[in-house]
Amino acid sequence: MSELFHKMSQTILDGDAEAAASLATEAVAAGLDPQQVIAEGYMPGLNQVGEAFACGESYLPELVMAGEAMKAAVTALEPEMQRRGSQRQSLGKVVLATVEGDIHEIGKSLVGTLLSSSGFQVFDLGVNVKASAIVEKARAENADIVALSALLTTTMVRQREVIAALDEAGLRPQVKVMVGGAPVTQQYADEIGADGYGENASTAVTLARQLAKPASV
């Protein structure tokens, strides 16, 4: 079994979605527990890619391909998880959006893919999203985290507005806010009262795990 898990991890490192899904199907046929397959087979590979990216040892294309391979594996395993009546344990609920006035999609989508692959339930609202819509979704889904992307200096101020709107709605005590985007810095995140700053998609996942811990205890 350890050899199979090693192969699964390697498919993520290689960014090979087809091979990842094939091994997942093989594991289901062998009667393996999908939860164990994800935790011990695929996640180590995804974590390794994320760490390499954070250290500058791998690049954005590798991160994207690893995320897609992980998504393919989980998709192949989902029918068996449903058949067994056990959904994958969620690390938390994340409402994700690019703020109002900003239509940049790629970075946000990558963060969403990696969060989902890592075990979060992600509600991606898309781009150019008003603060009111973000607050409404956070309340409706009982979100643990709101993740806000802004790629322009002219729109990053909207992140502050979303935090203020969450506070006004009385949601701030239970909803953590993480921010990111090219012009955003840790200093700015501190200034606007965010709970954390993700420099890139990989660090955003690490941050989300840290922020979700208190809620999952």
pLDDT one-digit tens code per residue, 20-50: 999 999 999 999 988 889 889 998 998 888 8
SS3 of 123, please? strand
For the segment 120-147, the average pLDDT, to the nearest whole number, is 97
If pLDDT is split at 50, 70 and 90, which confidence band does 88 have? low
Superfamily per CATH, domain 92-216: Cobalamin-binding domain (3.40.50.280)
Q: Which residues are 197's β-sheet partners?
A: 179
CA dist 169 → 163, 174, 195 (Å):
10, 11, 17
Q: What's the one-letter identity of residue 191?
A: E
SS3 of 32, please? coil
Domain 2-83 bears CATH identifier 1.10.1240.10: yes
If pLDDT is split at 50, 70 and 90, which confidence band does 216 have? very low
Task: Specify whether the CB–CB gap between 178 and 145 falls below 8 A.
Answer: yes
Ordered by start, the domain boundaries in the chain are 2-83, 92-216
